Amino acid sequence: MSRQHIVVAECRDGELRRVTLEAIAAARACMADGDRLAAVLPLDGGADAGAAEALAQRGVDEVIVVDHPVLGRYAPETHVAALLAAATALAPETRWWLGHTAIGRDLAPRLAARLGAGQVSDAIGAARGGDGRIVFTRALHAGKALEQRAFLMDAPAVVTVRPNNFAPAEAIAGAAAPIRSVPFDPPISRVVVRDVVQRVSGTVDLAEARVIIAGGRGVKSAAGFGPLAELAALLGGAVGASRGACDAGYCDYALQIGQTGKTVTPDLYIACGISGAVQHLAGMSRSRVIVAINKDPDAPIFGIADYGIVGDLFEVVPALIAELSGE
Ligand code: FAD
């Protein structure tokens, strides 16, 4: 039996978000022979049209574009209606895949309720079981326990995948899946988004950064984050923070990493003056290489660090900057 999988694409500044490519990879890992994969792209009057071509190269069978000016700003009712419009062009018994982003988290339960489908939130793993099921893995209790949920292959489901937990689908040379538009007559929305005020936290998106320089209470002041930002810029990365640093007012909560902040899995995570509380580890322990700089040799962060530097961050970080910038 052929099943339909649909990835809901998200763009930022006209570019596909990395988590969309990760959701494609997660969907593909769960597909059986004969299953089909579509990507749905809600567009704002064609503003992100290049994203449709980019999607068409990522190993999907088709790209469905829902294009309407009301989709320029996210509003739950109109976006759910746009996805349902796309679904009418596809087989009804469907698995939907979204990024576990602010928008994905909001859309998924609404979509599941409208479709009468089951829902899995924040999956960090997804694989085909040998018994006709798809098995999803989720992290519980700040990452101290893992839960597995099995869905029948044929059961409709809406899944959100946690960013940075699946290798993103690469562009396939010569691939060009068909792109088609579906008509969309938006409902009268009870919600009107008049303005979107975005916090600017740096040039690199923290959730998708490959290098993160994170500071904790040991950084001691907002000015103390200056050298961390300099190091991040040298490495093409982003600055993050512990809750201790955010609570102390050294930086904005948008930078907080951990159980109640962002979850990140960069290639390189440098923790400066962060003790390594379990709630912080919940957001960064799956980073590929962890470097800890702390003057306390007994700090718990050293327990998960690949490289530990016992020292004063106000000496170590400038030394790293000098080394990297060839001064
Ligand atoms: P501290 O624990 O105070 O550590 C500071 C470290 O800096 C120390 O290890 C010290 O040795 C070192 N240091 C000091 N000076 C220097 C120097 N000059 N050079 C080098 N090292 C130095 N925390 C999070 O981070 N993220 C979360 O999402 C989060 N969610 C939470 C949710 C709940 C429900 C609760 C209860 C707590 C949560 N916390 C979270 C808070 C968490 O428990 C810790 O309090 C917090 O992570 C501590 O931040 P810190 O490591 O920066 O500060």
Within this chain, do residues 38 and 92 fall inside the same structural domain, yes or no? Answer: yes
Residue 153 lies in a domain: yes
Q: Reply yes or no on whether the pLDDT at 140 is more than 90.
A: no
268 found inside a domain: yes
**Pocket lining: 264 vs ligand 1, CB cutoff 6 Å:** no
Structure tokens at 83: 């996805």
Strand partners, 293: 272, 309
Q: CA 174 to CA 83: how far, in whole Å?
A: 28
Query: Cβ distance 61 to 176 under 8 Å?
Result: no
Q: Is residue 37 domain-shared with residue 125, that is, in the same domain?
A: yes
What's the domain count of the chain?
A: 2
Is there an atom of ligand 1 within 6 Å of 221 CB?
no
Residues 177 and 226 in one domain: no
Q: Which atom of ligand 1 is nearest to the CA of 215?
A: 52
Task: Specify whether 240 is located in the same domain as 163.
Answer: no
The residue whose CA has the least distance to atom 14 of ligand 1 is 218
Q: How many Å is the maximal CA-CA distance in the chain?
A: 63
The sign of the torsion formed by the CA atoms of 154, 159, 161, 167 equals positive
Domain that residue 219 falls in: 211-325
Asked whether residue 57 is marked as a ligand-binding residue, the answer is no
Residue 273 forms part of a structural domain: yes
> Contact, 121 vs 108, CB < 8 A?
yes
* 87 and 222 share one domain: no
Q: How far is the CA of 42 from the centre of ligand 1 (A)?
A: 40
282 Cα–ligand 1 center, Å: 12
CB neighbour burial string for 273-304, b if at least 16 within 10 angstroms, e if fewer: bbbbbeebbbbbbbbeebbbbbeeeebbbbeb
State the pairing for strand pair 133-140/145-152: antiparallel
- Three-state secondary structure call for residue 127: strand
Q: Is 242 annotated to bind ligand?
A: yes
Question: What does the pLDDT average to over 100-122?
Answer: 94
Give the mean model confidence (pLDDT) for residues 123-127: 94
Annotated binding residue 259: yes
Q: Are residues 289 and 176 in the same domain?
A: no
Q: Which of 195-199, 216-220, 234-238, 313-317 has the lowest mean pLDDT?
A: 195-199
The answer to whether residue 195 sits within a structural domain is no
Say how many Å lie between the CA of residue 4 and the centre of ligand 1.
45
What's the whole-number mean pLDDT along residues 1-28?
Answer: 91
pLDDT recorded at residue 263:
86
294 marked as part of a ligand binding site: yes
Tell me, yes or no, whether 192 lies in a domain. no
Helix (H, G, I), strand (E, B) or coil at 81: helix
The mean of the pLDDT values for the chain is 91
Domain co-membership, 171 together with 257: no
Residue 30 and residue 177 in one domain: yes
Give yes or no: residues 274 and 152 share one domain.
no
Q: What is the CATH number of the domain that holds 320?
A: 3.40.50.1220
Residue 24 lies in a domain: yes
Residue nearest to atom 18 of ligand 1 (CA): 312
Question: Hey, which of 219, 239, 259, 262 would you mutate to test ligand 1's pocket, going by the most ligand atoms within 8 Å of its Cβ?
Answer: 259
Mean pLDDT computed over 174-200: 86
Q: Which of 109, 107, 160, 155 is nearest to 138 (CA)?
A: 160
Asked whether residue 198 is domain-assigned, the answer is: no
Q: Which residues contact 75 (CB under 8 A, 6 or more apart)?
A: 189, 191, 192, 193
Give mean pLDDT, residues 71-95.
86
Does residue 187 belong to any structural domain of this protein? no
Q: How far is CA 68 from CA 71, 76, 94, in A?
A: 6, 15, 24
Is 280 annotated in a binding site? The answer is yes
266 DSSP 8-state letter: -
Instruction: Give CA–CA dist 130/112, Å, rounded.
Output: 26
- Residue 201 is labelled as binding a ligand: no
Q: pLDDT per residue over 246-294, tens digit each?
A: 999 999 999 999 988 888 889 999 999 999 999 999 999 989 999 999 9
State the distance from the centre of ligand 1 to the C-alpha of 129, rounded, in angstroms. 39
Do the beta carbons of residue 86 and residue 66 sit within 8 Å?
A: yes
Residues 257 and 138 in one domain: no
Point out the domain boundary residue: 131, 164, 182: 182
**Pocket perturbation via mutation, ligand 1, pick of 255, 274, 290, 293 by most ligand atoms within 8 A of CB:** 274
Closest by CA to 244, choosing from 202, 274, 270, 214, is 274
For ligand 1, mutation pick of 144, 217, 264 (most atoms within 8 Å of CB): 217
Ligand-binding site membership of 174 (annotated): no
- Are 219 and 167 in the same domain? no
Residue 41 is part of a domain; what is its CATH number?
A: 3.40.50.620
- Same-domain pairing of 150 and 230: no
> Cα(91)–Cα(94) distance, rounded to whole angstroms?
7
